[in-house]
Chains A and B, each alone.
Chain A
Amino acid sequence: MSSESMPIAGAGNLPGAARRVWLETLHEWLITVDHKKLGLMYIGYALFFLVVGGIEATIIRIQLAVPHAHFVSPEVFNRMFTMHGTTMIFFVAMPVLFGFANYLVPLMIGARDMAFPRLNAFSFWMTAFGGLLLYFSFLGGDGLYGAGSAPDVGWWAYAPLTSKAFSRGHSTDYWTVSLLASGFGTIGTAVNLVATILSMRCRGMTLGKMPLLAWLNLVMSGMLLFTITPLTAAQIMLMVDRYLDGHFFDTHAGGSAAIWMHFFWIFGHPEVYVLIIPCFAFVSEIVPVFSRKPIFGYPVMVAATVAIGGVSMSVWAHHMYTIGMTSYENAFFVLTTLAVGVPTGIKIFNWLGTMWGGKIRYAPPMMFCLGFLFQFLIAGLTGIMLGSAPFDWQLGNSYFVVAHFHYVIVGGILFALFAAFYYWYPKMTGRMLNDTLGKWHFWVFLIGFHLTFDFMHIPGLLGMPRRIYTYEPGRGWAIWNMIATIGVAFQIAGILIFVFNLVHSYFRGRVAGDDPWDAWTLEWATSSPPAACNFAVLPEVRSRRPLWDLKHPEDPDWKYE
């Protein structure tokens, strides 16, 4: 959204010329390898799919609002929850986080671009292509057999449901190929981020002086290398089964359905940490600035993140307690799962420690961070509950699980993302997001979130399984489902306020200046939006808060660090 993107103004009376300028701008964005443009494209792409996935969620919730509803057919219902889950994880959460990482990491480590700019563009277009393929299935999924449209096997696509006998047509193939394609893009991004963070830092920025955002994205990318790839491997196996009549997951020929679960969750569990760690990164940057204190316990934060990254690679089978494992396996996965809670708890205390005694400013970025802290804590607690095998035998595959992970993903990830939008939008566009609208957005969305997901725990405890098309009246589930659906209306209203704010402030917002929050990391030393080369002269740093040093020459950080 740099100045080039608005060339039409002033050329209004020359339609031909205007069209040419417009085409040139489009061309420029299509062929760009600039990390800031690619970052914005990731973010825009993800926001689009957020709306699409949100519509699917709304359809699911309307269908479940009352017993015996027939708002959509059972087939459409299955497609909706499959597409909703797949879209939100792979085409909303991952791209939007990659977008912020792309935009922010080079700026914060004082570099002019990512390590491999063309690989960066390749990754984006692979991701974009993956999303298109997934949605093309609505048209092309019919295939030769005339069965099915969009995929309907759930986001985890358990075998043998994905075998040819049970998934006719091509919808499952679109699901597979789409995730393979975007997976290659993801591997590219991970390679690129690691290489950027290790090899492109400006003078003086040792690993111990990197902003936490860079550290956390380093851990996240390192994890991705080992977690997205098992999914890639499993998808290749599934393709072998479906196209070449292989037997990997074919139980008639001795294959195993459980091994697909293992492969999927070896990816799936670390994946949820891949999503939350960049959100920890946002919070770790925003909370100090809005508490006017440096982050509390920087080395401990880094160590805790590395620990989370490591341990979360060995907890995957807590998604599989109910398939019946040996007691040794159960014990192992319970212990590792509960162990993840320790470094996570350490982080929460560090953020609290940062706020303790600080001068807290209640602007929208900070408000969303506080929401994040509160909600992520509760979500972690229900996670620990589900992590205990006996509890999970009771509640696995129920709405309690759905409530748990939406508490993390909406209450945690989405809230941290909103905080990041309010915090970095001025850098990206040069204008502030409107404060009042931001507060409305916060409160309306907060109410909607709690209406939907607090009350969703209850039908889970009462035994309502997930992924059911509809249910009988008289089981005590109806009222809670109704409340959850009402919450969706509030959430939609909140999102509309947010989108309106994004568009409105782009044209009318208060001009931000380079450093509207009086912050301390390098991105605020560039102009807003930053020039194509980011820094005219590459910076040199001596502490973790280079802009503090610059603003307070009498009391610089590097004397103490």
Chain B
Amino acid sequence: MTIPQTLPSSPWTLPSRGRVGMFCFIAAEASIFTIFVVAYLFYLGKSVSGPTPREVLELPIFSSVCLLSSSLTIHLAVEFLRKGKSGAFRAAWGLTLLLGAIFLAATGLEWRRLIVEKGLTISTNLFGTTYYSLVGLHASHVTGGLIGLAVVMVLALAGKVRPEHSGPVDVLSLYWHFVDAVWVVVFTVVYVIGR
């Protein structure tokens, strides 16, 4: 039995599966982060020994600015790709990659300072446990995103990313925007409320 196509073909459009898939993935990721944020807030001030956040944390203004501006550059990059300006696309994409890498390096330096100078590790106290877990979870997502960005960069340099690929590239950029948005939350929770 086959169902014949009897109707005159009316327009039939459905949402892009790439975007739907990415939004679902982001929803799932967001709920993982939510649980970590809740744990962070719940354990604020519950450590039985020092150091406390106020004693050791410094506001990571510069790296935050870098990460947040990378949202702008990746947005521009996708626009350039759509319009077929491949040179501008590569420049903006490369800049995104650079800004993300700066953020990651800054996090690394911050952790080094905390561990070596302040003696705060993940097992020192509850603050250490929740701080490194939450910031580390975010940093691991930045790392994942950077790997994705780097793959596209390599392909772009090899001349393999063309305007017709703007769909998947756009989906990747959604993930990057998400990682940036999460940082706003983490920043607020850890460095504003938590200090």
A binding-site residues for B, Cβ under 8 Å: 110, 115-116, 187, 190-192, 194-196, 198-201, 203-204, 221, 225-226, 228-230, 232-234, 236-237, 240-241, 244-248, 252-256, 259, 263, 266, 514-515, 522, 524-525, 535-542, 546-547, 550
Contacts and interface: CB of A to CB of B under 8 A. Distances in A.
Contacts, number: 144
B25 A539 contact: no
A525 B1 contact: yes
Interface in B135-162: 137
B170 to A, nearest CB: 15
Contacts of A116: 17, 21
Contacts of A198: 14-15, 17, 20
Nearest to B45: A254
Given A233-B36, A525-B3, A255 B43 contact: yes
A221 B24 CA distance: 10
A310 B2 CA distance: 38
Given A198-B20, A199-B20, A254-B48, A240 B28 contact: no
Interface stretch (B4-12, B67-75, B81-89, B108-116): B4-12
Interface of A is mostly: helix
Contact of A550 (B3, B39, B129): B3
- How large, as a class, is the contact surface on chain B? 35 or more
A514 B28 contact: no
Given A199-B17, A253-B48, A259-B39, A247 B5 contact: no
B28 A539 contact: no
A200 B27 contact: no
Given A248-B39, A536-B2, A229 B31 contact: yes
Interface stretch (B54-62, B90-98, B119-127): B119-127
Given A230-B35, A245-B123, A253-B48, A540 B6 contact: yes
B2 A537 contact: yes
Given A115-B21, A542-B7, A233 B35 contact: yes
Given A225-B24, A514-B1, A539-B5, A237 B17 contact: no
B180 to A, nearest CB: 20
A234 to B, nearest CB: 7
Given A192-B21, A195-B24, A233-B36, 18 more contacts: A116-B21, A190-B28, A195-B20, A196-B17, A203-B5, A203-B9, A225-B31, A226-B27, A233-B31, A245-B123, A247-B123, A248-B43, A254-B48, A263-B35, A266-B35, A514-B1, A536-B2, A547-B1
